[in-house]
Structure 1
Amino acid sequence: MRSSFKKLTTTLIATLSLTAAASVAQAQEPLTLGVTGQGSTVYSMGAPLAQLLEANGIPVRLQPMGGTTAYTPLFGTGEIDIGIVNFSVLRSGYTGAAPFPQANEDIRLLSVLYPFMVGLIAREDSDIASIEDVAGLRLPGGFNQQPYINPIIRALLATGGLTTDDVEAVPVPTIGAGLDDFDTGRIDVGYFGIGGGRVIQSDSAVGGLKFIPVPDTPEAVTAMNQHLTGAFVHTLEAGSFVGIDADTPVMAYDMMLAVGADVPDETVARIAEILATNKDALVEGFGGYAGFEPELMAKPEYEIPYHTGAISYYESSNLWD
């Protein structure tokens, strides 16, 4: 009897040990963070974010893809857990608007990260000083691998009263390819996110570049929102980024950290807490995070729902109005 009891005890201990080990392994399974390719602004945002979460006990695996539209449909499928996506793309993905063939109602918001600033680019020594000045010039177009860029270009042109019919669109597959053509002179005006590492490369290649200012007027904001929901004008101080040599109003829209509805509440709440209390670490990793404001992480007015774990943290921190 004693021998049988000993065997039973040994078996129970072994079973419990295996169960505990499996639970730990499951708890340490890394979250997959969707970003765009190396050199892009979104990748530059994602790398320090992943490092910060890792340093605070949340393992993360970066998953670069061809564009945010490639991983927006993957929230809630287990392929992408969290991802950096602008609000306009998220809204289209959530509702099933173009370019998405169907709605993904498993998308949840976790946090506003910061105003994502974009612009048209000209050589520093050119006479181009306004959006109106790009009429008749060669710009990148098509973006067959990143179709979400097209409405952004249309929005930028609209601030100057222009449409794509007023410029010569040179087909390119990606924004990076567009800057390659800008560097070699195949196009006259480029496009990119302000603060992206690839901009520094182009600045060196062409002997200096500048972002073309948009009009800081209510009419310009109305025009851009006809193509890009949630866009606004944000003025950058001289010297804040490559290509910003004078105070420059640029087009911006909120870049979001999104999450699948299936990610546990406690994990999401912990991520929100880490972000809210570690702005300095984010800025150290990528200067664009200087625009991150913890008190503005939650915007309940957005029609995409926030994850319940995020809401729990924001309510407890008096950030949910």
Structure 2
Amino acid sequence: MKMVGDMMSQFFSKIGTACALVSLFAFSAASHAQTLSIGTNPQGSVAYASGAAIADVVGDALDLSFTVVPQGGPTAIIPAMSAGEFDFAFANIVAAVTAKDGKGPYKGRKYDSIRVAAVVYPLEMGVFVRKDAKIDTFQALKGKRVASAFKSQANVAAFMTASLAAAGLSYDDVTPVPVQNGVQSVNELVDGGLDATTFSVSAGIIQQADAVVGIRVLSLPNDEAAQAALDNYTPGAMIATAPAGSYPGILEPTNIIRVPFVVLTDSRVDDETVYKVVKAIAENGQKLAASAGEFKALDPKLMGQSALPVPYHPGAIKYYTEQGTWN
């Protein structure tokens, strides 16, 4: 009987060990199988290049699959993120504010579960014309063909409307030409179908346009009335002066729109995931900058800004608090 008991004891011991190993392997596989995703603007945009950089660099740092999902723009990205289609999103703070409050293109649909994970760098928007068009001022745009609607990228439409208003103009003073998104509008400018459009001054498509036809960025007024126009149409944006030669088309010191570009997430995403992603962004600035030049402006001390009009995710706040950088 003792021999049988010993055999049974050894049998169940082996079974227990095997189960433990199976559980360990299953846990390891499940951990390694975790995937993350980030929604961005279309290919050719600054947001896409930056989102792709985050997916690559953060994915490598955390040893997990991190994919970039290009969308039409924030009006598609934020609702999709809120619906759980991906975990993070790349957008400017203006889009985030209007989505949270259910205003502008999000009218009647409040996405109040969105949260900020990190401020990564300033987005800088300019109004572009062809250099050979001899349009040197906003006033010279009267009657000209100006990109409008931006059907799949309504946040860009807001920047165009705000730029015109800051210069004392509106779409009533120009000839509106509906476009699908910012990338298409730049292509239309190059092809001669538009006289003016707006987009990020550091976007790859802008560099291409300047190389093909030569472009100019028009300078905005920089006074209280101009800032009031921005506050009305693009809350969170401000007017800033870009030095001559800092970007394609900036031929002299030029007043453009500057707004924080942020990594967004949703309140449903767990604290640990957001904490790890934010930490990986903060600790891999050089790798991010090597992948997308805009990240040269990334400052880990400025990633957590409590004054932003959209709340931060608790996982992000935990990291910034530990680092003493929660401003």
Give TM-score, length-normalised by structure 1: 0.92
Aligned equivalents of 2:22 and 2:186: distance in 1?
Answer: 53
User: Does the 8 A contact of 1:234 with 1:249 survive in 2?
Assistant: yes
Please say which of residues 180-189 and 52-61 is displaced more in the overlay: 52-61
Deviations 1:202-224 (A, max 9, x none): 22332x11211212223211111
2:196 alignment partner AA: V
> How far is the alpha carbon of 1:228 from its aligned partner?
0.6
Deviations 1:164-222 (A, max 9, x none): 1111011211222212211111111122211111112222332x112112122232111
> How far is the alpha carbon of 1:79 from its aligned partner?
1.5
1:253 alignment partner AA: V
Which residue in 2 is equivalent to 1:98?
104
Q: Choose the corresponding residue for 1:70, options 59, 67, 76.
A: 76
Q: Choose the corresponding residue for 2:307, options 286, 291, 301.
A: 301
1:53–1:223 CA distance, 2 compared to 1 (3 A): same
1:217–1:283 CA distance, 2 compared to 1 (3 A): farther
User: Does the 8 A contact of 1:30 with 1:58 survive in 2?
Assistant: no
How many residue pairs get aligned? The number is 320
> How far is the alpha carbon of 1:76 from its aligned partner?
4.8
Q: Choose the corresponding residue for 1:52, options 40, 50, 57.
A: 57
1:12–1:130 CA distance, 2 compared to 1 (3 A): farther
Matches within 5 A, 1:204-219: 204-206=211-213, 208-219=214-225
Give TM-score, length-normalised by structure 2: 0.91
Q: Choose the corresponding residue for 2:260, options 231, 240, 254.
A: 254
> How far is the alpha carbon of 1:238 from its aligned partner?
2.4
Deviations 1:142-163 (A, max 9, x none): 2222223222111011111011
Q: Choose the corresponding residue for 1:239, options 242, 245, 254.
A: 245
Aligned equivalents of 2:313 and 2:246: distance in 1?
Answer: 33
RMSD of aligned C-alpha atoms? 1.9
Larger helix percent: 2
1:78 alignment partner AA: G
Aligned equivalents of 1:295 and 1:53: distance in 2?
Answer: 18
2:39 alignment partner AA: G
Is 1:150 the equivalent of 2:154? Answer: no
Larger Rg, first or second structure (1 or 2): 2
Q: Choose the corresponding residue for 2:201, options 186, 194, 198.
A: 194
Moved over 4 A (4+): none
Consecutive unaligned residues in structure 2, runs of 5 or more: none
Identical columns (%): 28
Which residue in 1 is equivalent to 2:174?
167
Aligned equivalents of 1:70 and 1:36: distance in 2?
Answer: 9
